[in-house]
Amino acid sequence: MTSTTRVPATEITGVYGTLLKTMARKMVGKVPDSAGVMWNHRTIFMDMMKFGRKVEKWDRLDPNLASFASMAAAATIGCDACLDLHYFMAHNHGLDETKAREVPRWRESEVFTPLERRVMEYTVAMCQTPPAVTDAMSAALLDDLGAAGLIELTARVGAMNMAARSNIALGIHSEEFAAACGLPPLADPSAVVRSPA
């Protein structure tokens, strides 16, 4: 980890700890340092993991749209750990990693379709305090995705808010999973070159 967390990590032990470490190594190649932080309250950690696995099984939203929404939420909230992990997962799940790389600068990037932009616009609006979702945004996505798709999008963004805000509050940062598997760095939104007016 690049900095210390606000809650010290504890040793991951026991039968469930062994299972957790095995699953983590299978999913991301190592046991994340953040797992030791969350292991301080095993029940919450295990419940959050179970919920996360259930979220990954939802299937009414195109997987690329789901990935872009999760990444856009993480970027909006400022959770580098979530953004890195979801970029890594996009690669591992065979999703469009060229577009995933561009999510932090989705407004300026030319790679996204109008639907993908509407999904990320809705996501960003949901992440504001207070939420800034409009009737027009919802109506457009209802037409695009159907009721089940819009509900899934909303629930996925809500789940990412829980994870991202928890990570930030606990001082959990990126562990560079995407870089470890050779992915190019995520696009930097501040690196946008604007033409003179």
Per-residue b/e over 135-148, b at no fewer than 16 CB within 10 Å? eebeebbeeebeee
Based on the structure, what is the number of domains in the chain? Answer: 2
Judge whether 35 lies within some domain: yes
For residue 190, tell me if it sits in a domain: no
Look at residue 195 and tell me whether its pLDDT is greater than 50: no
pLDDT exceeds 50 at position 188: yes
Question: According to the model, what pLDDT value does residue 193 have?
Answer: 43
Torsion over CA of 82, 71, 185 and 188, rounded to 10 degrees? -110
On whether both 38 and 117 belong to a single domain, the answer is: no
- Domain assignment present for residue 188? The answer is no
Calculate mean pLDDT across residues 40-68: 96
- Do residues 116 and 135 share a domain? yes
Residue 45 and residue 67 in one domain? no
Tens digit of pLDDT for each residue in 127-177?
A: 999 999 999 999 999 999 999 999 999 999 999 999 999 999 999 999 999
Are residues 92 and 24 located together in one domain of the fold?
Answer: no
Q: Does residue 175 share a domain with residue 153?
A: yes
72 and 31 co-located in one domain: no
CATH for 83? 1.20.1290.10
With respect to residue 91, please indicate whether it lies within any of the assigned structural domains.
yes
pLDDT at 2 over 60: no
CA–CA gap between residue 79 and residue 59 (Å, rounded): 25
In a shared domain, residues 27 and 106: no
From CA 39, how far away is CA 94, in angstroms rounded?
Answer: 30
In terms of domains, do 23 and 65 share one? no
Per-residue pLDDT tens over the stretch 59-118: 999 999 999 999 999 999 999 999 999 999 999 999 999 999 999 999 999 999 999 999
46 and 135 assigned to the same domain: no
Q: Quote the pLDDT of residue 194.
A: 41
Does some domain include residue 66?
Answer: yes
Q: Is the pLDDT score of 192 beyond 90?
A: no
**Euclidean distance between the first and final Cα of the chain, in Å?**
42
Is residue 52 in some structural domain?
yes
Residue 46 domain-assigned (yes or no): yes
Cis, bond preceding 130 (omega within 30 deg of 0): yes
Residue 151 lies in a domain: yes
Give the pLDDT score at 189: 83
Task: Say whether pLDDT at 182 is over 50.
Answer: yes
List the structure tokens of 186. Answer: 């995520």
DSSP H or E segment with residue 14: helix 14-28
**According to the model, what pLDDT value does residue 1 have?**
39
Q: Show the domain range for 118.
A: 61-183
Between helices 114-126 and 135-170, what is the axis angle to 10°?
A: 60
Q: Which of 75, 109, 113 is nearest to 193 (CA)?
A: 109
**How confident is residue 191, by pLDDT bands cut at 50, 70 and 90?**
low
Task: Assess whether 34 and 98 both reside in one domain.
Answer: no
Residue 167 sits in the same domain as residue 122: yes
* 37 Cβ contact list (under 8 Å, min separation 6): 5, 7, 8, 9, 10, 170, 172
My answer on whether 96 and 122 are in the same domain is: yes
Q: Where residue 190 falls among pLDDT bands split at 50, 70, 90?
A: confident
